[in-house]
């Protein structure tokens, strides 16, 4: 079952904590993401648990092909792929110089 916690003014800090835990669970220990980067993903990425898993799997494939741990940029590519599959645009906070995800 996929539960989507929509990003809006009603989304609580507890929801962000749960989503960050989901990212951490899927990423495991072979990644180089910082806590601020995980916080940014939790607060900005509006995907279901299954889509988060798919984004992490795509990031893992990228990292594995280069024999290195998963980076924030790898996750960004996975997130972008999931948004494309859903026919949605990436949130503005994930694009450009401020975010450094893409």
Going from the first residue of the chain to its last (102 residues), give the mean pLDDT of each consecutive group of 10, the final group possibly shorter.
54 81 95 94 92 98 98 96 95 66 57
Q: Is residue 63 part of a domain?
A: yes
Q: Is residue 13 part of a domain?
A: no
Q: Is residue 21 part of a domain?
A: no
Retrieve residue 76's tokens. 């960004």
The pLDDT value recorded for residue 21 is: 94
The pLDDT value recorded for residue 98 is: 46
**How many other CB atoms sit within 10 Å of the CB of residue 47?**
23
Q: Is residue 95 part of a domain?
A: yes
Q: Is residue 26 part of a domain?
A: no
The pLDDT value recorded for residue 14 is: 80
Q: How many domains does the chain have?
A: 1
d(Cα 45, Cα 11) in Å, to the nearest integer? 12
The pLDDT value recorded for residue 43 is: 87
Range of the domain at 94: 33-102
Kindly report the pTM of this predicted structure. 0.82
Retrieve residue 99's tokens. 């975010």
């Amino acid at each position: 079952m996929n539960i989507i916690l929509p990003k809006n003014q009603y989304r609580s800090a507890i929801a962000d904590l749960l989503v960050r835990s989901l990212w951490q669970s899927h990423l495991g220990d072979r990644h180089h993401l910082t806590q601020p980067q995980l916080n940014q993903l939790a607060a900005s990425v509006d995907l279901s648990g299954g889509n988060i898993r798919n984004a992490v799997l795509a990031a893992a494939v990228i990292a594995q092909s280069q024999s290195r741990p998963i980076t924030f940029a790898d996750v960004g590519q996975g997130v972008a792929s999931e948004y494309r599959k859903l026919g949605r645009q990436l949130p503005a906070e994930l694009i450009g110089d401020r975010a450094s995800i893409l």
